[in-house]
Structure 1
Amino acid sequence: MLRDPAPQLAHTAWPSVPSDALVLLPIGSTEQHGPHLPLDTDSFIADAIARRAATSVPTALVAPTLPYGASGEHADFPGTVSIGQEALRTVLVEAVRSLSLWARRIVLVNGHGGNTAPLDTALRLLRSEGHDVAWTACAVPGGDAHAGRTETSVMLHLAPDRVKLEAAVAGDTRPLAALLPELMAHGVRAVSPSGVLGDPTGATAAEGRRATDAMVAAAVRRITAWTVDDRGRLAEPVPGRLARQVVRP
Structure 2
Amino acid sequence: MPQAASRDLARAVWPAVPPKPLVLVPVGSTEQHGPHLPFDTDSVIARAVAVEAANTLSGPCLVAPPVLYGASGEHAHFPGTVSIGHEALRSVLVELTRSLSLWAGSVVFVNGHGGNVASLATAVPQMREEGHDVAWTGCHVPGGDAHAGRTETSLMLHLAPQDVRLDAAVAGDTRPIASLMPDLVAHGVRAVSPSGVLGDPTGASAEEGRGLMDVMVSRTVRHITAGVADGRGHLMEPSERKVAR
TM-score w.r.t. length of structure 2? 0.95
CA distance in 1, matches of 2:150, 2:202: 6
Unmatched runs of 5 consecutive residues or more in structure 1: none
Q: Which residue of 1 aligns with 2:46?
A: 46
Q: Which residue of 2 aligns with 1:177?
A: 178
Q: Which residue of 1 aligns with 2:205?
A: 204
1:1-249 correspondence to structure 2 within 5 Å: 7-57=7-57, 58-238=59-239
Higher helix share: 2
Q: Give the Å deviation of 1:32.
A: 0.1
Q: Give the Å deviation of 1:6.
A: 6.5
State the AA in 1 paired with 2:27.
I
Aligned to 2:26, the other structure's residue is in SS state strand
CA distance in 2, matches of 1:114, 1:236: 22
Q: Give the Å deviation of 1:238.
A: 2.4
Q: Give the Å deviation of 1:237.
A: 1.6
Q: Is the 8 A contact 1:6 1:62 kept in 2?
A: no
Count of matched residue positions in the alignment of Structure 1 and Structure 2: 239
CA distance in 1, matches of 2:110, 2:116: 11
CA distance in 1, matches of 2:45, 2:187: 27
CA distance in 1, matches of 2:150, 2:133: 35
CA deviation profile, 1:10-67 (whole Å, cap 9, x unmatched): 1111111111210000000000000000000000000000001000122110000000
State the AA in 1 paired with 2:31.
E
CA distance in 1, matches of 2:222, 2:192: 36
Q: Is the 8 A contact 2:6 2:16 kept in 1?
A: no
CA distance in 1, matches of 2:175, 2:20: 45
Aligned to 1:238, the other structure's residue is in SS state helix
* The 10-residue stretch of structure 1 (7-16 or 45-54) with the greater mean CA deviation from structure 2: 7-16
Q: Is the 8 A contact 1:46 1:110 kept in 2?
A: yes
CA distance in 1, matches of 2:180, 2:8: 38
* The 10-residue stretch of structure 1 (200-209 or 105-114) with the greater mean CA deviation from structure 2: 200-209
CA deviation profile, 1:140-168 (whole Å, cap 9, x unmatched): 00000000000000101111111001100
Q: Is the 8 A contact 2:35 2:169 kept in 1?
A: yes
Runs of 4+ residues over 2 Å off in structure 1: none
Q: Is the 8 A contact 2:27 2:111 kept in 1?
A: yes
Identity of aligned residues (%): 67
CA deviation profile, 1:97-154 (whole Å, cap 9, x unmatched): 1000110000000000000000000011001111100000000000000000000001
CA distance in 1, matches of 2:99, 2:202: 43
Aligned to 1:134, the other structure's residue is in SS state strand
CA distance in 1, matches of 2:236, 2:190: 33
Aligned to 2:238, the other structure's residue is in SS state coil
TM-score w.r.t. length of structure 1? 0.93
